[in-house]
Amino acid sequence: MSDNKSKSDHETVKAKQETESTGLSRRGFLGTSAVASVALAGATALGSVVFTRETWAAAAKDAQSKVHVGPGDLDDYYGFWSGGHQGEVRIMGIPSMRELLRIPVFNIDSATGWGLTNESKRIMGDSAKFQNGDCHHPHLSMTDGKYDGKYLFINDKANSRVARIRLDVMKCDKMITVPNVQAVHGLRLQKMPHTKYVFANAEFVIPHPNDGSTFDLQDKNSYTMFNAIDAEKMEMAFQVIVEGNLDNTDADYTGKYAASTCYNSEKAYDLGGMMRNERDWVVVFNIPRVEAAIKAGKFITLGDSKVPVVDGRRTEGKDSAFTRYIPVPKNPHGINMSPDGKYFIAAGKLSPTCTIIATAKLDDLFDDKLKEPRDAVVGEPELGLGPLHTTFDGRGNAYTTLFIDSQVVKWNMDEAVRAYTGEKVNYIKQKLDVQYQPGHNHASLTETSEADGKWLMVLSKFSKDRFLPTGPLHPENDQLIDISGDEMKLVHDGPAFAEPHDCVMARRDQIRTKKIWDRNDPFFAETVAIAAKDGIKLETDNKVIRDGKKVRVYMTSMAPAYGLPEFTVKQGDEVTVTITNIDKIEDVTHGFVMTNHGVSMEISPQQTASITFIADKAGLHWYYCSWFCHALHMEMVGRMLVDKV
């Protein structure tokens, strides 16, 4: 990290900015009554004064009334949170911060049977063998730069996957593994004219082919790739080989460009090596040029994969047609497109700055009309220590998280651009302490042209003393900040289980969900087709079909009874239970659990769900409904008799 000298320089700048800008210096505000500071994680505490719980509670009181959503009232925004290495997506109501639902994606879920049912296993495909995931970046599909309510996409860093969630039923409906890469991290969507592509960065450099013959990362056959996935088909569209590695990404408002940060331009394998270069870069991708090359057949494929691959690396110091590399201070992290479409903003992480890249200069950059790639940079504001991610209020202000300073800094973009030309202007508007060590932040509708500057979520990585102690493992702290006025006001602390890296918020009118399933929904169409082959009418038939050692048990469910109160199979049979919930009443979900068999699933109104298991234990086995559905829910049971063979 920075040495002592630059740290103290920075401290001075920071203190000055605080007093000059808003007149609302934290130190001034707290005066001498400020109490003993809490040690900050990361061992880089800079002696900042820290609020006590009591101070915060008092200061937040008036703002808190804005967060209160009374019993029976509805929230204004849907929030979609990644569950990090827990593997799911969570739906929150904003501003109440009430958790509404969880959508299992890369994890196994006992309540819904995700990862256990045949329908979910088909969606997970070959990767159903994995029981973990590590999701970071949930993003909503767009048309014309606005949320269109169709899909949410999310990455899985752990197993190099991308998944899609249908927003009408809030279920994952597609999942793909990105070929020939390791660790899909940064993920963002094309905004214009609509979300045709999901852009996904593979983070780690690996040898190609990765056949065990080399450990060498410096070789020219060691690289990583930028990936574009067809959002509608959920198939790979193309891959671009890059220099260095890839971290985060975002796309512009013309549909032409995407840009990614690279922190390992060194292609190093260890910490020291990855910090060796003074500068890494932002790589900009020219999407139409990639498409044109592929259309012209100018691409390669790798191994068994049929995905078109183009080379975005430099040859003999010359840039490829597809990419430009813009040097930025070492080891950048987040990259965010401003809602006015003007700037890509890369956060410095090891540098106390953000780098502002003007989209208006990108055509010239690709036509080689700039003297050097750095000429696309129009600002590099000094913001504080450990800038990670930036979000926007649609009023010209940016909000950047400062991991090491444990703050969010609000700054004005156009003023920062003017300051870069030498003009004396103080672009810093406010610094707000957060608790503690923030990663992503996200303002309402910030990724769309409709950024409305109402709410700011700050996803703090450490909660320390903010909640009742829970043992060595602490929750994260998702903090809600009111940004509707001139001043940021912290209004809510939201404990969250590991680990929401990122979140998005959509207006509630932008999400339109189904109340009950359509009988012809593709989610369970394959199960319906299997039943049709068995001559079963799912809505009425209760039948057991034997097919060699395979037994298919079909039944209905209607509160508070299954269509089959009992069925018999033989020991060793592979049993598939398919249940159709013929209840048409919203919210009457049934479940099916076969005791002592690892079998559990959800069957919501008008849904068909199926699950397969081996009846390996002779005897009587009860099955029961696991979702409370009726006064006689406990009595919603049945028995399976397994004949000894």
Work out what residue 622 binds among ligand K7E, Ca ion, ligand CUA, none; the CB cut-off runs from 5 to 8 Å by kind: none
Work out what residue 248 binds among Ca ion, ligand CUA, ligand K7E, none; the CB cut-off runs from 5 to 8 Å by kind: ligand K7E
Give the separation between CA 221 and CA 118, rounded to whole angstroms: 40
Work out what residue 636 binds among Ca ion, ligand CUA, ligand K7E, none; the CB cut-off runs from 5 to 8 Å by kind: ligand CUA
Q: Give the binding range for ligand CUA (CB under 6 A) out of 188-196, 284-292, 419-427, 620-628.
A: 620-628
Rg (alpha carbons) of the chain, rounded to whole number:
27
Beginning with the edge strand found earlier in the chain, give each strand of the sheet holding 503-507 in spatial order. Answer: 98-104, 88-94, 77-82, 503-507
Residue selected from 90, 185, 431, 492 as contacting ligand K7E according to rule CB under 6 A: 185
DSSP 114-172: TTTBHHHHHHHGGGGG-----B---EEEEETTEEEEEEEEEEETTTTEEEEEETTTTEE
Q: Give the binding range for Ca ion (CB under 5 A) out of 234-242, 326-334, 403-411, 443-451.
A: 326-334
In 3D, which of 450, 312, 467, 458 has the Cα closest to residue 391? 458
Residue selected from 10, 166, 208, 333 as contacting ligand K7E according to rule CB under 6 A: 333
- 248 belongs to the binding site for ligand K7E (CB under 6 A): yes
- 109 belongs to the binding site for Ca ion (CB under 5 A): no
Q: Give the binding range for Ca ion (CB under 5 A) out of 3-11, 221-229, 238-246, 276-284.
A: 276-284
Work out what residue 495 binds among ligand K7E, Ca ion, ligand CUA, none; the CB cut-off runs from 5 to 8 Å by kind: none
Work out what residue 342 binds among ligand K7E, ligand CUA, Ca ion, none; the CB cut-off runs from 5 to 8 Å by kind: none
- Whether the upstream peptide bond of residue 209 has omega within 30° of 0, thus cis, is yes
Cβ 462 to ligand K7E, closest distance in Å?
A: 12
> CA triplet 381, 486, 341: central angle to 5 degrees?
50
- 563 belongs to the binding site for ligand CUA (CB under 6 A): no
630 is in an annotated binding site: no
How would you classify the pairing of strands 279-286 and 161-166?
unpaired
- 280 belongs to the binding site for Ca ion (CB under 5 A): yes
Decide if 103 contacts 109 (C-beta within 8 A).
no
Cβ 203 to ligand K7E, closest distance in Å?
A: 9
One-letter amino acid of 345: I
- And the tokens for 406? 């444990």
Residue selected from 17, 82, 239, 331 as contacting Ca ion according to rule CB under 5 A: 331
Residue selected from 236, 259, 629, 642 as contacting ligand CUA according to rule CB under 6 A: 629
Residue selected from 354, 590, 607, 609 as contacting ligand CUA according to rule CB under 6 A: 590
Choose between 167 and 458: whose C-beta lies nearer to ligand K7E: 458
Footprint of ligand K7E on 117-136 (CB under 6 A): 136
Sequence-distant contacts of 219-223: CB under 8 A, at least 24 apart? 222/267, 223/313
Footprint of ligand K7E on 381-410 (CB under 6 A): 388-389
Give the separation between CA 429 and CA 407, rounded to whole angstroms: 13
SS3 15: helix
Give the separation between CA 442 and CA 457, rounded to whole angstroms: 5
DSSP 616: -
Residue selected from 156, 452, 502, 521 as contacting ligand K7E according to rule CB under 6 A: 502
- 637 belongs to the binding site for ligand CUA (CB under 6 A): no
Work out what residue 628 binds among Ca ion, ligand CUA, ligand K7E, none; the CB cut-off runs from 5 to 8 Å by kind: ligand CUA
Give the separation between CA 431 and CA 438, rounded to whole angstroms: 13
Q: Give the binding range for ligand CUA (CB under 6 A) out of 237-245, 289-297, 506-514, 621-629.
A: 621-629
Choose between 404 and 564: whose C-beta lies nearer to ligand CUA: 564
Work out what residue 194 binds among ligand CUA, ligand K7E, Ca ion, none; the CB cut-off runs from 5 to 8 Å by kind: none
Query: By CB under 6 A, how many residues form the interface with ligand K7E?
Result: 12
Decide if 274 contacts 204 (C-beta within 8 A).
no
- 377 belongs to the binding site for ligand CUA (CB under 6 A): no
Work out what residue 339 binds among ligand K7E, ligand CUA, Ca ion, none; the CB cut-off runs from 5 to 8 Å by kind: none
Torsion of CA 447, 451, 457, 459, to 10 degrees: 20
Q: How far is CA 344 from CA 132, 327, 350, 407, 447, in A?
A: 33, 14, 18, 21, 12
Work out what residue 10 binds among ligand CUA, Ca ion, ligand K7E, none; the CB cut-off runs from 5 to 8 Å by kind: none
Cβ 531 to Ca ion, closest distance in Å?
A: 56
Burial class (CB in 10 A: 0-12, 13-18, 19+), 244: buried
Cβ 172 to ligand CUA, closest distance in Å?
A: 24
Residue selected from 440, 454, 552, 621 as contacting ligand K7E according to rule CB under 6 A: 440
Q: How far is CA 441 from CA 95, 181, 389, 392, 488, in A?
A: 15, 28, 6, 10, 13
CA 630 to chain centre: 36
Residue 84 φ/ψ region, left for φ over 0, alpha for ψ in the -120 to 50 degree band, beta for the rest:
left
- 139 belongs to the binding site for ligand K7E (CB under 6 A): no
- 622 belongs to the binding site for ligand CUA (CB under 6 A): no
- β-sheet bridge partners, residue 551: 546, 575
- β-sheet bridge partners, residue 177: 161
461 is in an annotated binding site: yes
Annotated binding site for Cu cation: 136-137, 185, 333, 389, 440, 501, 590, 625, 627, 629, 633, 636
Contacts with Ca ion, residue ranges (CB under 5 A): 274, 280, 330-331
Contacts with ligand K7E, residue ranges (CB under 6 A): 136-137, 185, 248, 333-334, 388-389, 439-440, 501-502
Contacts with ligand CUA, residue ranges (CB under 6 A): 559-560, 590, 625, 627-629, 633, 636
